[in-house]
Amino acid sequence: MKTRAAVAFGAGKPLEICEVDLEGPRQGEVLVEMKATGVCHTDAFTLSGDDPEGAFPTILGHEGAGVVLEVGEGVRSLQPGDHVIPLYTPECRECDYCLHPRTNLCQAIRETQGQGVMPDGTSRFSLDGKPLRHYMGCSTFANHSVLPAIALAKVRKDAPFDKICYIGCGVTTGIGAVAFTMGVEAGATVAVFGLGGIGLNVVQGARMVGASRIIGVDMNPAKEALGRQFGMTDFVNPRDVDDVVQHLIAMTGGGVDYSFECIGNVQVMRQALECAHKGWGQSCIIGVAGAGQEISTRPFQLVTGRSWRGTAFGGARGRTDVPKIVDWYMEGRINIDDLITHTMPLDDINRAFDLMHAGESIRSVIHY
263 binds, among Zn ion, ligand NAD, ligand DAO, none (CB under 5 to 8 A by kind): ligand NAD
State the residues that interact with ligand NAD by CB under 6 A: 40-42, 45, 169, 173, 193-199, 217-220, 223, 238, 262-265, 268, 286-288, 311-313
Q: What are phi and psi of 112, to 5 degrees?
A: -70, -35
Name the nearest CA neighbour of 266 among 242, 288, 295, 245: 295
Q: How far is the CB of 313 from ligand DAO (least distance, A)?
A: 6
Which strands make up the sheet holding 125-127, listed edge to edge? 2-7, 16-22, 125-127, 130-131
Nearer to ligand NAD, 137 or 196 (CB): 196
3-state SS class at 223: helix
* Binding flag, residue 60, ligand DAO (CB under 6 A): no
Q: How far is the CB of 269 from ligand NAD (least distance, A)?
A: 10
Taking CB under 6 A as the criterion, the residue among 17, 78, 105, 159 binding ligand DAO is 105
Q: Is 262 a catalytic residue?
A: no
Nearer to ligand NAD, 37 or 311 (CB): 311
Taking CB under 6 A as the criterion, the residue among 18, 22, 29, 42 binding ligand DAO is 42
Say whether the peptide bond before residue 221 is cis (omega within 30 degrees of 0).
no
* Candidate list 98, 138, 275, 284, residue with the active-site label: 98
Q: How far is the CB of 107 from ligand DAO (least distance, A)?
A: 6
H helix or E strand, kind and range, residue 322: helix 318-330
CB distance 85 to 155 below 8 Å: yes
Q: Is 83 a catalytic residue?
A: no
Q: Is 284 a catalytic residue?
A: no
State the residues that interact with Zn ion by CB under 5 A: 40, 42, 92, 95, 98, 106, 108, 169
Alpha-carbon distance 276 to 313, whole Å? 22
Angle, in degrees to the nearest 10, between helices 41-48 and 349-357: 90
* Binding flag, residue 288, ligand DAO (CB under 6 A): yes
Q: How far is the CB of 201 from ligand NAD (least distance, A)?
A: 8
For residues 129-160, b (16+ Cβ closer than 10 Å) or e, as one string?
Answer: eeebbbbbbbbbbbbbbbbbbbbbbbbeeebe
Residues within the interface to ligand DAO (CB under 6 A): 40, 42, 62, 89, 105, 110, 169, 288, 312-313
Question: Which residues are identified as catalytic?
Answer: 40-42, 62-63, 92, 95, 98, 106, 110, 169, 363
